[in-house]
Homo-oligomer: A and B are copies of this chain.
Amino acid sequence: MLEVKTAGFELDRRLEADTRHVMWLGLCELRLMDDRRWPWLVLVPQRRGAVEIHDMTPLDQTLLIFETNMVAETLEDVTRCTKINTGALGNIVRQLHVHVVARSEGDPNWPGPVWGHGQREPYRREDAHRFADRIVSALSPKR
């Protein structure tokens, strides 16, 4: 098991370049993959040195699945998708991050995976903001 620390966490540069900040959760930063082909969120646990989920403490693992599933359920509600795809791969970017993707029949590469398929197609800036706002609103406590 790796030594996992909170302090001095720095987001991987490739993740930073490919995604946009959405909001802070308890353990994770929630980011939007800047690829308009699919509604695609990424959770990044703020734990320095974590590569595999099992590198984290049992409490952090529980928090991660709680936050992942909260995000998955919200993304399903917002997009009315056919299926949620979740994955932790990290073959290219080793910093631990969890993908939550809304898939719909007939979307690019359906029913295959999103990873490694074609080229990323960035959002127009205002479309990214609008989608992120919908996610933040749906995840925020109702009054």
Q: Does more than half of chain A's interface fall in helix, strand or loop, or is it mixed? A: mixed
Number of copies: 2
Write the nearest CB–CB distance from A38 to chain B, whole angstroms.
12
Q: Footprint of B on A, CB under 8 Å?
A: 51-54, 58, 61-62, 64-66, 68-70, 72-73, 76, 82-92, 94, 103, 109-113, 115-116
Please give 5 more A-B residue pairs, beta carbons under 8 A apart, in addition to A83-B89, A92-B111: A52-B72, A53-B69, A54-B69, A54-B76, A85-B91
Query: Which residues of the other chain, B, contact A83 by a CB distance below 8 angstroms?
Result: 51-52, 89-91, 94
The winner among A65, A68, A91 for most chain B CB atoms within 10 A is: A91
Across the interface, A61 reaches (CB within 8 A) one of B51, B69, B90, B92, namely B69
